[in-house]
Amino acid sequence: MGQFAFANVRSRLCGNRMVILSFLFLAISIGSSVQSWAASDSMVDPAWKDYEQVSGVSGNLNSIGSDTLNNLMTLWAEGFRKEYPNVKIQIEGKGSSTAPPALIEGTAQLGPMSRQMKAKEMDKFEAKFGYKATSFPVAVDALAVYVNKDNPVKCMSMEEVDAAFSKTRRRGHSVDVNTWGKAGLDGNWKSTRVSLYGRNSASGTYGFFKKTVLKKGDYKDEVKEQPGSASVVQGVTEDRGGLGYSGIGYRTSGVRAIPLSAKSGEGCYEPTFTNASAGKYPLARFLYLYVNKAPGKPLPPLVAQFLTYVYSKAGQHIVIKDGYFPLPQTLITKKLGEM
Amino acid sequence: MPDKIKKFLSSGTLFVWFCGTAVAASLLMVGGVLLLIMINGLGFFWPHALMELTLRDGTRVLGELKGEEVIPHSETPEFPEGKTRVRLKVGNRDLYGLDFRWVDTDQIALADSPKDVAAFERREWGNFYGRIREIAKGEDVVATGNQEGWKALQPLIEWANDLHDEIEHLQRDVIGDINFDIEETRLRIRELELRAQRESPEVAELQAVTRQLEAHYQKHVATLRALSRQLDEYSVLLVETNGREKRLPVGQIVKALRPNDMGLFEKILRYFMNFWSVLSEEPREANTEGGIFPAIFGTVMMVLIMSVAVVPFGVLAAFYLREYARQGLIVRVIRIAVNNLAGVPSIVFGVFGLGFFVYAVGGTIDTLFYPEALPTPTFGTGGILWASFTLALLTVPVVIVSTEEGLSAVPREYREGSLALGATKFESMLRVILPCALPGILTGLILAVARATGEVAPLMLTGVVKLAPALPLDHHFPFLHFERKFMHLGFHIFDVGFQSPNVEAAKPMVYVTTLILVMVVIVLNLSAVAIRNHMRKKFKASAV
């Protein structure tokens, strides 16, 4: 994993992925301010282009997929409908795994996913259409590890996080981090128990955390599984010894997103835009829109315009507004070319 | 002594006490829940005062005070009770990143509530708290300073809101109509194509119609763009308490208030205005702001369709079981089955609805009647009809059971009298027994409505969405669009409470939605009760 934060991205469709990666790394020159998540301005890439309306766009657009992307899709839909009042967009967000069947059945033209398609899902798609589904990264999410606002812990290594959440401890930490004392805290914190909050197993976030942090190990039985990302944050807010994971977009004043280090002894990095895009923060991931695109043929105009909107200045500003991190223009140019 | 205890026990006084305690406990719990919802929900509409705190490091914080707590483990000799901190809603999310902020009380040097600060409700990024620096039209400054700017801003906001209304009317009504016609024509053309009549003159005609409609549409879009540009004409330069500036178009502001400068009467007036705007407006910003009208509408609509579906089924089944079927083992088994059906988890009904109604029935309807729309499903995807049917299945046992109760309460003399006068069995049932059993049937309906309104899990599988583009009822033929997806108050609570990224800011919205859901249930039930009482007066003999 190490310095490649987006290691989760380097899997099956490897060629394509590596191009995205290299573009992402090349593009990082924006934003040096420390306050980068508070001041949205630092995330703005001046090269983003304004969206330009085209004529002849109309019809219905159905989107079925991730609940992490649900808000973002809704905000994009609200914005897109301002450009084209004759477009109807319906959004269902019940989990990333509902996207592939919907694309295969044709009940949705857009499949938002907070993870990549699994090989099995891709095979099913290919069996039906004879080609693979096309993915478009639309935003960057940094999965944050949250503690209560009173918790003074300065930094946790991935090994410690694994030892707190997992009973298998695949990252090889020697002790079970079940009290805050074992994470290096003193005083009355020393004996305070670590109270764990996580997502339910249908969630893409659950899977991502299990794969990248636990190295496919098992969660402890006492992890309190929550029905939504926001309720993880709520749980940690109310629980002084709480520890939980959720998207950076869900941060509130009741919790603190702690800096993480990829390996114990290495540098700690906060889940900021700068750190995530520089690949220093170990839990960054892309959020995707999957579409059905036959090779050599253009996308249907409605889908193509929606993606163009998402990749425009307005679309990426919405990403910032929803609390996620936007994409650099270089990557956008590359993906627009593929359309 | 033992005698006395024995007497006391056998007298049953103790039992009465138990009963009374149970009733009191139930009432207390219901009252407690309602009180909690009301305390948290009703406060949402009140224009709260703004506090400006000057901290010891010289910086300032401006916002609504939202609570105070003791910092855990902060007891020192000076503060035996522990230090405290306050939570403020500071808004300005685009500048600060978060809507809320905790401030330790011992950091506060000065607390003040100046009259000249304002809360601006914006269409994006939540509230802005601060003062006005200047108002400009294009590049020209129209008003400078907080006082002058405030006076100039109010009419501008009204003007902008009127423009927004006009834009919305144009978008929803005018362009909505054109879209509807275009879609209809497209489907008609597709239908002709499917029938291999691609060359027929009708197709060419329809295509001409489409082009005409497109031209109309383009014209309206041009107007729309002009109006949107007009909205950006005026801009206001706001400044937050520490002097950071933010320029935004006046069209972005929904309303501006100076809560510290408002009298009690003005605040009460504003309270009801806020309440009304939540009831009547559409949601904004992925449902975390604005109103909840589509969700209220969807909920009521779904319950009505469900009632229409569930009553005939339940009543017919109950009549058969009670009046026609020979009482025996089979009927007993059926009755047990019906009662047990009421205990099946609602999500199981949801899965059944998805598999049977949506995929099997809906899919078949699509291939038979809407082939022109495929692959986009019409009925083969969740919709208000399927959601209502699923809930009807869920509540049918309640209706069957209470109808049977109502039937069994009809005195035997009535039936015999009716038959003796020469009425057939069917006639006496329709004219005598059914009217007498109506209050029982309505009791079943009341219970069914109460159960159905609060149900969310099966709906998530059969047609509820976070944001529906159109209401299921409009002025286009056939007026009631059964295939449309809809919004629902219960799902709205789940969505805003568990899915919204800014959960702190959205929390009051959850309570407000809950409050309104409870109110909807009460209104639906009260109207059913009123009908039932009316019936009872009419047919006094019935016991149920």
| DSSP string over B14-27 | HHHHHHHHHHHHHH
Q: Which residues contact B73 (CB under 8 A, 6 or more apart)?
A: A187, A188, B82
Residue B368 is assigned to a structural domain of this protein: yes
Q: Any alpha helices (H) in B138-239, and if so which ranges? A: 146-169, 175-194, 201-231
Residue B18 is assigned to a structural domain of this protein: no
Mutate one of B500, B509, B510 to test the A interface: name it (highest A CB count within 10 A): B500
Whether the model pTM is above 0.90: no
What would the pLDDT profile of A249-275 be if each residue is shown by its tens digit? 888 888 999 999 988 888 889 898 888
Rounded CA-CA distance A282/A276 in Å is 8
Q: CA of B260 to nearest chain A CA: how many angstroms apart? A: 25
Domain co-membership, B343 together with B408: yes
Q: How confident is the model at residue A40 (pLDDT cuts 50, 70, 90)?
A: low
What's the mean pLDDT in B366-383? 81
What would the pLDDT profile of A310-335 be if each residue is shown by its tens digit? 999 999 999 988 888 898 888 888 88
Q: Residue B390 above 90 pLDDT?
A: yes
> Domain range holding B466?
293-538
Q: How confident is the model at residue A66 (pLDDT cuts 50, 70, 90)?
A: confident
Q: Where does chain A show beta strands of DSSP type E?
A: 59-65, 87-93, 111-113, 134-148, 156-157, 195-199, 224-226, 242-247, 255-257, 260-261, 284-291
Closest by Cβ to B465, choosing from A37, A91, A149: A91
Q: How confident is the model at residue A28 (pLDDT cuts 50, 70, 90)?
A: very low
**pLDDT for the residue numbered A112:** 92
Q: Does A250 touch chain B (CB under 8 A)?
A: yes
* CATH 3.40.190.10, domain A142-277, yes or no: yes
Contact in structure between A71 and B501 (CB atoms under 8 Å)? yes
Q: Residue A301 above 80 pLDDT?
A: yes
Q: CA of B514 to nearest chain A CA: how many angstroms apart? A: 17
Q: How confident is the model at residue B540 (pLDDT cuts 50, 70, 90)?
A: low
Q: CA of A227 to nearest chain B CA: how many angstroms apart? A: 7
Domain co-membership, B108 together with B155: no
Q: Does A229 touch chain B (CB under 8 A)?
A: yes
Q: Where does A161-241 show beta strands of DSSP type E?
A: 195-199, 224-226
Q: How confident is the model at residue A37 (pLDDT cuts 50, 70, 90)?
A: very low
Tally: H helices and E strands in chain B:
18, 13
Domain co-membership, B246 together with B395: no
What's the mean pLDDT in A282-309? 89
Q: ipTM of the predicted structure? A: 0.74
Of B130, B160, B183, which residue constitutes the final position of a domain? Answer: B130
Rounded CA-CA distance B129/B500 in Å is 22
First CA to last CA across chain B, in angstroms?
45
Q: Is A296 exposed, middle or buried (0-12, 13-18, 19+ CB in 10 A)?
A: exposed
**pLDDT for the residue numbered B197:** 67
Rounded CA-CA distance B148/A326 in Å is 39
Contact in structure between B443 and B406 (CB atoms under 8 Å)? yes
Supply B402's token pair: 């209470």
Residues of chain A with CATH 3.40.190.10: 5-141+287-338, 142-277
Domain co-membership, B385 together with B399: yes
Closest by Cβ to B73, choosing from A39, A56, A188: A188
Q: Could you tell me which residue, A173 or B29, shows the higher pLDDT?
A: B29
- Tell me the CATH number at B74: 2.30.30
Of B130, B146, B173, which residue constitutes the final position of a domain? Answer: B130
What would the pLDDT profile of A222-255 be if each residue is shown by its tens digit? 999 888 788 899 899 989 899 999 888 888 888 9
Q: Is B377 exposed, middle or buried (0-12, 13-18, 19+ CB in 10 A)?
A: buried
Q: Does A89 touch chain B (CB under 8 A)?
A: yes
Residues 300..329 of A with a Cβ closer than 8 Å to B: which?
321-323
List the one residue out of A306, A291, A302, A289 whose CA is nearest residue A59.
A302
**pLDDT for the residue numbered A17:** 46
- Tell me the CATH number at B403: 1.10.3720.10
- Mean pLDDT of all residues belonging to chain B: 87
Domain co-membership, B122 together with B234: no
> E strand or H helix at B518, and its extent?
helix B503-538
What's the mean pLDDT in B433-456? 88
**pLDDT for the residue numbered B351:** 92
Contact in structure between A277 and A325 (CB atoms under 8 Å)? yes
Hey, are the CB atoms on B286 and A107 less than 8 Å from each other? no
Supply B537's token pair: 């007066």
Q: Residue B17 above 80 pLDDT?
A: yes
Closest by Cβ to B503, choosing from A55, A107, A252: A252
Supply B487's token pair: 């919004």
Residue B543 is assigned to a structural domain of this protein: no
Helix (H, G, I), strand (E, B) or coil at B228: helix
Sort out which chain B residues have CB atoms less than 8 A from A229's CB and list them.
Answer: 498-499, 501
Domain co-membership, B444 together with B375: yes
Name the pairing type of β-strands B140-144 and B84-89: unpaired
Strand partners, B89: B64, B100
Domain co-membership, B330 together with B431: yes
Q: How confident is the model at residue B3 (pLDDT cuts 50, 70, 90)?
A: confident
Helix (H, G, I), strand (E, B) or coil at B525: helix
Q: How confident is the model at residue A34 (pLDDT cuts 50, 70, 90)?
A: very low
Hey, are the CB atoms on B98 and A38 less than 8 Å from each other? yes
What's the mean pLDDT in A65-72? 84
Domain co-membership, B372 together with B451: yes
Closest by Cβ to B97, choosing from A37, A75, A78: A37
Nearest CA in chain B to A149: B102
Q: Which residues contact B246 (CB under 8 A, 6 or more apart)?
A: B92, B94, B95, B128, B130, B237, B238, B239, B240
Contact in structure between A152 and A246 (CB atoms under 8 Å)? no
% of chain B at pLDDT higher than 90: 31
What's the mean pLDDT in A166-171? 88
Number of domains in chain B: 3
Domain co-membership, B62 together with B141: no
Q: How confident is the model at residue B409 (pLDDT cuts 50, 70, 90)?
A: confident
Residue B28 is assigned to a structural domain of this protein: no
**pLDDT for the residue numbered A331:** 84
Residue B275 is assigned to a structural domain of this protein: no
Hey, are the CB atoms on B503 and A250 less than 8 Å from each other? yes
**pLDDT for the residue numbered B529:** 86
Q: Residue B257 above 80 pLDDT?
A: yes
Residue B42 is assigned to a structural domain of this protein: no
Of B105, B130, B155, which residue constitutes the final position of a domain? Answer: B130
- Mean pLDDT of all residues belonging to chain A: 81
Residue B10 is assigned to a structural domain of this protein: no
% of chain B at pLDDT higher than 70: 98
Helix (H, G, I), strand (E, B) or coil at B156: helix
Domain co-membership, B73 together with B171: no
Hey, are the CB atoms on A93 and B466 less than 8 Å from each other? yes
Q: Residue A133 above 50 pLDDT?
A: yes
Sort out which chain B residues have CB atoms less than 8 A from A75's CB and list them.
Answer: 285-286
Contact in structure between A289 and A307 (CB atoms under 8 Å)? yes
Nearest CA in chain B to A241: B72
Domain co-membership, B318 together with B390: yes
Nearest CA in chain B to A189: B73
Nearest CA in chain A to B171: A85
First CA to last CA across chain A, in angstroms?
31
Contact in structure between A75 and B285 (CB atoms under 8 Å)? yes
What would the pLDDT profile of B283-324 be if each residue is shown by its tens digit? 887 788 888 999 999 999 999 999 999 999 999 999 999 888
> E strand or H helix at A100, and its extent?
helix A99-105
Q: Could you tell me which residue, B100 or B540, shows the higher pLDDT?
A: B100
Residue B532 is assigned to a structural domain of this protein: yes
Q: How far is CA B199 from the centre of its chain?
A: 48
Homologous superfamily of domain range A5-141+287-338: Periplasmic binding protein-like II (3.40.190.10)
| C-alpha R_g of chain A | 20
Domain co-membership, B165 together with B250: yes
